[in-house]
Structure 1
Amino acid sequence: MASLNVENLKVVYRGVILALNGVSLRAEPGEAVGLLGPNGAGKSTLVRAIAGLLHQYEGRVLDGKITLNGQDITHASALKVAALGLTPILEGRPVFRYLTVLENLTAAAHKLSPARARAITEEVFARFPRLYERRREQAGYLSGGEQQMLLLGMALLTEPRVLVVDEPSLGLAPILVEEVMRVLGELRREKGLTLILVEQNARAAFSLVERVYVLEQGRVAFEGSTQVAQSDADVMEFYLGAGASGGFAEAKRYRRRKRWV
Structure 2
Amino acid sequence: MLKVENLKALYRGVILALDGVSLELARGEAVAVLGPNGAGKSTLVRALAGLLPSYEGRVSDGRIELGGRDVTAAGALAVHRQGLTAVLEGRPIFRYLTVRENLRAAGHRLPAGELAARMDEVFHWFPRLAERSHEQGGYLSGGEQQMLVLGMALITDPKVLVVDEPSLGLAPLLVEELFEVLARMHREKGMALLLVEQNARAAMKLAHRVYVLEHGRVVFEGEREAAERDADVMEFYLGAGAGGFLGAKRYRRRKRWI
Is TM more than 0.5 here?
yes
Q: Which residue of 2 aligns with 1:6?
A: 4
Equivalent in 14, 25, 28 of residue 27 of structure 1: 25
Q: CA deviation at 1:173?
A: 1.1
Structure 1 residue 260 corresponds to structure 2 residue 250? no
Q: Deviations over 1:71-106 (max 9, x none)?
A: 001010000000001000011000000100010000
CA contact (8 A) 2:31 2:210 kept: yes
Matching residue's letter, 1:43:
K
Matching residue's letter, 1:93:
R
Q: After superposing the two structures, state which structure 1 stretch, 144-153 or 40-49, moved more.
A: 144-153
Q: CA deviation at 1:256?
A: 3.0
Counterpart secondary structure, 1:207: helix
After TM superposition, the structure 1 = structure 2 runs for residues 199-214 of structure 1, keeping only pairs within 5 Å, are: 199-214=197-212
Q: Which residue of 2 aligns with 1:16?
A: 14
Counterpart secondary structure, 2:219: strand
Q: CA deviation at 1:252?
A: 4.8
For 1:77 and 1:145, how far apart are their aligned partners in 2?
30
Name the count of aligned residue pairs: 258
Aligned-residue CA RMSD in angstroms? 1.3
Q: CA deviation at 1:224?
A: 0.6
Gaps of 5+ in 2: none
Which 4+ residue blocks in structure 1 deviate beyond 6 angstroms? none
For 1:252 and 1:199, how far apart are their aligned partners in 2?
22
CA contact (8 A) 2:232 2:257 kept: no
After TM superposition, the structure 1 = structure 2 runs for residues 9-158 of structure 1, keeping only pairs within 5 Å, are: 9-158=7-156
CA contact (8 A) 2:242 2:249 kept: no
**TM score, norm. by length of structure 1:** 0.96
- How has the CA–CA distance of structure 1 residues 115 and 217 changed in structure 2, closer, same or farther, with 3 Å as cutoff? same
Matching residue's letter, 2:237:
Y
For 1:129 and 1:211, how far apart are their aligned partners in 2?
30
Counterpart secondary structure, 1:168: coil
- How has the CA–CA distance of structure 1 residues 17 and 246 changed in structure 2, closer, same or farther, with 3 Å as cutoff? farther
For 1:166 and 1:185, how far apart are their aligned partners in 2?
15
For 2:111 and 2:170, how far apart are their aligned partners in 1?
34
Gaps of 5+ in 1: none
CA contact (8 A) 2:118 2:155 kept: yes
Counterpart secondary structure, 1:165: strand
Percentage identity across paired residues of the two chains:
69
CA contact (8 A) 2:211 2:218 kept: yes
**TM score, norm. by length of structure 2:** 0.97
CA contact (8 A) 2:122 2:151 kept: yes
